[in-house]
Amino acid sequence: MSRIRALAAVLCAGLAFSTAVAAKDIKISHQFKQGDARDEATRLFVAEVVKRDPSLKFRIFPNRSLIAAPFEQLAAMRDGSVEMAVYPINYGGGQVPEFSVTTLPGVIRGLEHGLALRDSDFAKTLNDVAMANGVRIVTWWWTPLGFVMKQKTFAGPNSVAGLKMRGADAYVDLLLKEQGASVVAMAGTELYSAMQSGILDGFLTSTESMYTNRFYEVGKSATLGGQYNFATSLQPLMMSKKHWDELTEAQKKIFDEAARISEKHFTEVQSKAIAQAVEAFKKANLEVHELTKAEFDAWVDVARKQAWAKFEKDAAKGADLLRQAAAVK
């Protein structure tokens, strides 16, 4: 009889544990305003998950309402104090060098290339690195990057000499410095005021942020759109490994299904975002420049010699990631 009671106790404990997992409360932090595509894609992801498992509860905290400093979201996920965050992955490049691979010029050749990497060895390697560092890449949201400038137009490598620039990544910063720019480190939330006050002459950002943050009010020109983007960045929804491991296998599958739906939507929106940013800058009577093939090739050439080379030395999986990205057409 005592053995039956013991077995019943174990079964009850297991049921209590699985119920606790199923009823998990998940906080999602991000820096973006409501209406930004990253916020909309987050809400779509949540809706698709809840549709499949109503027991999962989410709370979304946009516009830095949970964590004031966007860079600190990685640490919060790693220690488990925040379950999920939309985190431009290159922000974590100082702690995890491999994360910078997504902003190296010429590595990710555009939105279509990013999409093609979804189930590749590249994605597996990058997520293995992420998991080894306490986080899981849940969605693969790619966004084109461009430059907002106050004085000279951003074009080829000789266009930044003598300017105060923000690259948002150590390897982009290295590249800018090697071309004669001085580099200023700051979060994306500080860019508007920095341009107003003259602290910055130009900065790299997503085309989405160019118009949602009204950078056309403080810039004189923008380099975006066209066939050649300076870089294409991964800005995914990520999850604390601690909390990912607490999900059931069925819930992990649900997360992946919802992620793929959100990725399709996000990619469609990015094409519109480029058009909206171009329209906003032109409406403000500002110059919009598309990188020419010669300008883009020149940036990739110096990037290979300078930024790519250092990345391979700094990142244990750097050479693998570069090779795996190049293998996907």
Whether residue 127 is contained in a domain is answered as yes
pLDDT of residue 161: 97
Domain that holds residue 29: 25-327
Whether residue 44 is contained in a domain is answered as yes
Whether residue 286 is contained in a domain is answered as yes
pLDDT of residue 187: 82
Number of CB atoms found within 10 A of residue 81's CB? 12
Do 85 and 58 contact (CB within 8 A), yes or no? no
Do 27 and 61 contact (CB within 8 A), yes or no? yes
The DSSP element (H or E) to which 200 belongs, if any, is: none
Do 137 and 130 contact (CB within 8 A), yes or no? yes
Cβ-Cβ contacts under 8 Å for 284 (sequence gap 6 or more): 216, 217
pLDDT of residue 148: 97
pLDDT of residue 97: 96
Token pair in block for residue 122: 């590249």
pLDDT of residue 13: 44
pLDDT of residue 258: 98
Do 112 and 173 contact (CB within 8 A), yes or no? no
pLDDT of residue 5: 46
Token pair in block for residue 260: 């793929």
Whether residue 14 is contained in a domain is answered as no
pLDDT of residue 188: 81
pLDDT of residue 271: 82
- Provide the number of structural domains found in the chain: 1
Series of mean pLDDT values for 10-residue runs along the chain (329 residues)? 42 42 81 92 98 97 94 96 96 95 92 94 98 98 95 95 94 95 90 95 92 93 92 96 98 98 94 89 95 96 95 97 96
Residues, the chain: 329
Q: What pTM, to 2 d.p., does this model score?
A: 0.87
Angle at 36 between CA 115 and CA 260, to 5 degrees: 30
pLDDT of residue 35: 85
Beta strands in the chain (DSSP E): 25-29, 57-61, 84-86, 135-137, 142-149, 164-166, 182-183, 202-206, 221-223, 231-234, 237-240, 287-289
314 phi and psi, to 5 degrees?
-80, -35
Whether residue 6 is contained in a domain is answered as no
The whole-angstrom separation of Cα 176 and Cα 159 is: 10
pLDDT of residue 3: 41
Whether residue 255 is contained in a domain is answered as yes
Whether residue 171 is contained in a domain is answered as yes
CATH number at residue 215: 3.40.190.170
Whether residue 265 is contained in a domain is answered as yes
Angle at 328 between CA 326 and CA 329, to 5 degrees: 100
